[in-house]
Structure 1
Amino acid sequence: MKFRGIMIDAGPMREFTNIVTTISKLSKECVLRLSDDKLYFIVSEDNSGPAPPVLWCEIPQVVFFSEYQMIGIDEEHKDIYLSVISANLAKSLVTLKSAKSLKIKLTKKQCPCLTLEIEMQSVISQQSRQVTHDIPVVVVPRKMWSDFHEPKVQTPDISIELPTLKQLRTTIDRMRTMAQEVVIRASAEGKLTLQIKTDMAKVSTRFKDLRVEAFEGPIDHSDSETESVAIEDISKLCHCRVDAKKFSMFLSADNISHNRTICSIVHKKLVILCLYTQENVKLQCFITGIVY
């Protein structure tokens, strides 16, 4: 197996750093999958045992790399799967925002490593200096590759564009001080409601006039806890109760330059949050619903 990639543009290097930093906040470990045309960052629940990924990020290599070469195990199995400590990778990329270039390659030291060679411009001379980081990785056995495929989920009942992530994060972080769970409710009329309940109070924040990407209704509320609202048709409402901390962690992706973020809900079962960038990066987070 061989891998070598070079970045020379400041914009992609800065964006790559932001993506890795966001992933390091979501999980201690991740799997880096290298293919001919894309890089994938994959996070599974607590990284323990075979389980569908909870985070799936795909990055087109042609946008980020000026040079990109890789050779997999064989012609039939062309990809490379590497388990890496997310924080180690993020810390190594801190200086990348002011670097001239980055070379990433798969090396064999005392153990397999991702070696990062970062060329920095000296502040006191015209000469540049090189900083090298060797990040230990574990090669994922081929028999485990199926654990790191993109999750297949049923068609969401609704997909709605979210307001700004910074605004959402401020709201949800305030709610987290009062409750551990939040109900995300979306309507086909372009309304998004975040609601928490405690023994002392019920707090709701509503956003309206949002773009609805898709609606598969009507929604069956025969066994639902959705409250009747006189002015709303509940057949156009769907909701899901999720862990407020997990929702907030996804919202930390607001440091990634993006052009839209979509929230898709499978009624009462699953919330899929998907962030898109102008560079065709797609970051998806899957949060399983809490059902009582």
Structure 2
Amino acid sequence: MRFKTSIRNIQTFSTSLSTLGKVAWVRLDDDSVRFTIIPETGTQVWASLSIESIFEDYTIQSAAPNNTINLELPLPPLHRALKSAINATSASIRLTKKDGVPVLSLTIITNTVSSGNSAGGFLNPANADPFGDNVFREESLDANMGREREAIVTQDIPIRVLTADSVEGIHEPRVREPDAHIVLPSLIQLKAISDRFTKLAMATSYGGARGGASSTASVPKLELAANMHGSLKLSISTDSLNISSVWSGLNNPELDPRQLDGENPENHPSAKLKAAGQDAWSTVRIDGRDWGKVLSVGRLGGRVIACFADEHALILYVYLSNFNDGVDDSVLTYYISSFSV
């Protein structure tokens, strides 16, 4: 079993493996990289990335069909390692063993500038001529100039290599057909407003979170709604606060005929919501802090389509640009369950 590659896009790799959970299941094969994060509570992440979008010089080999390798990967140590690699000249990762334990070994190469050795230079009083003669010490040109040095750091991340049978039952959540689908505005802007709403609601509800004792269950929930006429609404409500923000002129993408399975498009829930007019909304309620973490994917850019199953779930499809034309888009899929009223 072999796996070795250079990381082409550290930012995409790090952000894709978001901090929504502590452990990820990673599937590597000849064609793609897939990872899944299923925390006990909160947002699930299902991602399928083209190899070219994050890796280069990709080598994989196993006895399984399509050279598949399944790994259980702890995310906190990986994030720490990748954070140190953001400004690296290059970074590579390989599957190996250390003391009999399987690890992903991340090797980072950086160029650092070291100051030249000026000891003994003309500013050093120890080199002053004791006799007052105009005698000068000759030096090489780069004696006092910074030198660029290459630093190599290797970090080992303990993992588990999983059998194919143990991951066979993992599948994406089954969600009913959405009532609304809409292209979201800038996630950076949406995150800024969402975080502000959540902080205001927590401050008014808990008096500035006195004593820091507010349980996850009691954190105010954001209400997110969309219609099929290009509008998105974000709001939050407590006993002492009721605020909202509305975006209009957004795009409701057409349904993919392949998703309809021969069904009449007019019978689709989104078509019925559209026919109901601009005042008909599909609504979900989500944890503001969890939502803020999801929106961090906005750093990657790309188009994001939100699908609303009213009072049930919100599904985000984040499409990332690939380096090679003709290759299927890499997609990050986020499943967020709606809280009841």
Give the TM interval when normalised to the shorter protein.
0.7 to 0.9
Bigger shift: residues 118-127 or 242-251: 118-127
Could you tell me which residue of structure 1 aligns to residue 39 of structure 2? 45
Q: In the superposition, relative to structure 1, how do residues 259 and 189 fare at CA in structure 2: closer, same or farther (>3 Å)?
A: same
Do residues 198 (structure 1) and 238 (structure 2) align?
yes
Q: Deviations over 1:62-87 (max 9, x none)?
A: 23322111123423x74222112211
Deviation at residue 127 of structure 1 after TM alignment: 4.8
Contact 1:53/1:151 (CA < 8 Å) preserved in 2? no
185-194 vs 120-129, which moves further: 120-129
Map 1:58-207; keep pairs closer than 5 Å.
Answer: 58-75=48-65, 78-110=67-99, 111-124=101-114, 125-177=147-199, 178=201, 180-207=220-247
Equivalent position amino acid for 1:46 in 2: E
Q: C-alpha separation between the residues in 2 aligned to 1:289 and 1:126? A: 53
Report the AA paired with residue 244 of structure 1.
G
User: CA RMSD, aligned part only?
Assistant: 2.6
Residue 2 of structure 2 is aligned to residue 2 of structure 1:
yes
What's the CA shift for 1:283? 1.6
Q: How many Å separate the matches in 2 of 1:150 and 1:62?
A: 24
CA distance in structure 2 between the partners assigned to 1:282 and 1:99 by the alignment: 26
- Number of aligned residues: 269
Report the CA distance between 1:233 and its aligned residue.
4.0
Once residues 78 and 114 of structure 1 are traced to their aligned partners in structure 2, the CA distance between those partners, rounded to angstroms, is 17
Encode CA deviations 1:208-249: one digit per residue, 9 max, x unaligned: 1111114723149xxxxxxx9xx8442xx2112222222222
Q: Name the larger-Rg structure.
A: 2
CA contact (8 A) 1:246 1:287 kept: no
Distance 2:320 2:15 in 1: 12
Mapped to 1, the partners of 2:90 and 2:340 lie a distance apart of 49
Report whether the alignment pairs 1:16 with 2:13.
yes
Query: How far off is 1:61 after superposition?
Result: 0.9
Between the aligned partners of 1:214 and 1:185, the Cα distance in structure 2 is 19
**CA offset digits 1:34-77 (Å, max 9, x no partner):** 12121122100228xxxx981012221123322111123423x7
Question: For residues 115-149 of structure 1, what are the alpha-carbon distances to aligned partners after superposition, in whole Å with 9 as ceiling and x for unaligned?
Answer: 11122224234552321111000122323213433
Cα 1:6–1:241 shift into 2, 3 Å: same
Q: Which amino acid aligns with 1:45?
A: P
Choose 137-146 or 191-200, whichever is displaced more: 137-146
Residue identity opposite 1:284 in structure 2: T
In 2, distance between residues paired with 1:289 and 1:57? Answer: 21
Aligned to 1:264: 307
DSSP 3-state at the match of 1:46: coil
Amino acid at match of 1:145: V
Partners of 2:229 and 2:179 in 1: how far apart? Answer: 13
> 1:180 corresponds to which letter in structure 2?
P
Which residue identity is paired with 2:5? G
Once residues 126 and 182 of structure 1 are traced to their aligned partners in structure 2, the CA distance between those partners, rounded to angstroms, is 50
**Secondary structure class of the residue paired with 1:96:** coil
Give the AA of the match of 2:68.
D
